[in-house]
Structure 1
Amino acid sequence: MKLLAPLVFAAACLSAMPSARADMPVQPKLKVATLDGKTFDLAAERGKWVIVNYWATWCVPCIKEMPDISKFVAEHKDKVAAIGLAYDDSEKADIQAFLVKHPVVYPVAQVTLDKPLPDFDEPRGLPTTWLIAPDGKVAKRFVGTVNEQSLGEAIGLGKK
């Protein structure tokens, strides 16, 4: 229990961080090879909201939020897309095996610690989720878990 308090404090500090770094591009670029051998290009998703979700196989909160993100994307597939970024130095086969146990409806790519994405901050806590507006601009960054409600409120697609 003594270790839990510092972790809770650290998480609270991270959630108070600003939404983006000052030098982050207004319209970030993201073009990555997905684990299924395809390419995800953020620019090709213009006109939709895009959820860019950093997670790891060892991250319990990440695992908890994955079904919510998946359900949200499935329910709003005409308006919302997502890309999962496994921020993990695990072997590709290990991440694929993890996804068999924890399936999602959106593509997943691996981002290794030694090759961060140039237009996105390296996450200082996991999960970290970037919400990109239909015009390609960063709308919001969440540090910590997201769910259907928080995503819906941020996008304006809340339950009625």
Structure 2
Amino acid sequence: MTAMPLRHAIATCLLLLLLAACQRDQAGTAAAPGADATARKAQDADAPAGRDTGDAQPAGPGRSDGAAASSEEFPALVVTTLDGGRYDLAERRGRWVVVNFWATWCAPCLKEMPELSALDALREHVEVIGLAYEETDADTLRAFLAKHPVVYPVAIVSTYDPPADFPTPRGLPLTVLVAPDGRRVKTFLGPVTALELEQAIEAAGGPAPGEGA
């Protein structure tokens, strides 16, 4: 008569141990770091040409939810420009920065370059950095820019190792607007005008178009 209750007791103990193990497995499983950022980056890169891919949500040290700022929200960029200088996006705090991916073979890129150059020259609160996204060398690019001059600095970035904190270009031009606090606020895939950039700056809390010169 005692054999049946003993087997029940052993079975109950085993069941409890299995349930405890399952709970430990679930508690130890977390999303891979950067998984959400990778998915959003892929959505940005696949957006139709000329489409604004949207605004990043405000984030950073002042966030009330205590969440840490991601590299997608506050991108880093350190490149060597054609003149041998070091360009560090983190040192541009206090200004709106237009990060423009382009290539010498890209006709829409060449069409927007004069507007970007004028924006950089005429607006003290805005600066542009051009990233030549193609397989070329410095001498070839300097010769090209001698015929298509711009006032802003230009650097070559590898198509095999593009800046990690920015969307990987699936089409050109690709332009990213970075706020004075270092936050990425808007991304454009396709040609963008100076007016559209100034309107984006105003929408993000900056000066209205034509102001802040």
Q: TM-score, normalised by structure 1?
A: 0.85
RCO comparison, higher one (Cα < 8 Å, 6+): 1
d(CA) in 1 for partners of 2:55 and 2:196? 18
d(CA) in 1 for partners of 2:187 and 2:47? 14
- 1:56-75 CA distances to partner (integer Å, 9 max, x unpaired)? 00000000000000001100
d(CA) in 2 for partners of 1:54 and 1:153? 20
Aligned residues of 2:51 and 2:190 also touching (Cα < 8 A): no
Q: Which residue in 2 is equivalent to 1:142? A: 188
Q: State the percentage of identical aligned residues.
A: 47
Equivalent residue in structure 2 for 1:116, among 159, 162, 175: 162
Q: Does 1:106 align with 2:160?
A: no
Aligned residues of 2:93 and 2:182 also touching (Cα < 8 A): yes
Q: Which residue in 1 is equivalent to 2:21? A: none
Q: Does 1:86 align with 2:121?
A: no
Q: Which residue in 2 is equivalent to 1:35? A: 82
For residue 13 of structure 1, give the secondary structure of its aligned residue in structure 2: coil
Q: Which amino acid aligns with 2:134?
A: D
1:39-78 aligned at under 5 Å gives the runs 39-76=86-123, 78=124
Q: Which residue in 2 is equivalent to 1:3? A: none
Q: Which residue in 1 is equivalent to 2:30? A: none
Q: Which moved more, 1:54-63 or 1:110-119?
A: 110-119
Aligned residues of 1:84 and 1:109 also touching (Cα < 8 A): yes
- 1:19-71 CA distances to partner (integer Å, 9 max, x unpaired)? 489x7521100010011100110011000000000000000000000000000
* Runs of at least 5 residues in structure 1 that lack an aligned partner in the other structure: 1-10
CA distance 1:20–1:94, change in 2 (3 Å): farther
Q: TM-score, normalised by structure 2?
A: 0.65
Pairwise CA RMSD of aligned residues? 2.2
* Runs of at least 5 residues in structure 2 that lack an aligned partner in the other structure: 1-45, 57-69, 203-207
Q: Which residue in 1 is equivalent to 2:209? A: 158
d(CA) in 1 for partners of 2:79 and 2:47? 31
Aligned residues of 1:14 and 1:124 also touching (Cα < 8 A): no
d(CA) in 1 for partners of 2:125 and 2:84? 24
d(CA) in 2 for partners of 1:65 and 1:123? 17
Q: Number of matched residues?
A: 149
Q: Which amino acid aligns with 2:153?
A: P
Runs of at least 4 residues off by over 6 Å: none
d(CA) in 1 for partners of 2:141 and 2:55? 28
Q: Which amino acid aligns with 1:13?
A: P
Q: Which residue in 2 is equivalent to 1:131? A: 177
d(CA) in 2 for partners of 1:18 and 1:31? 24
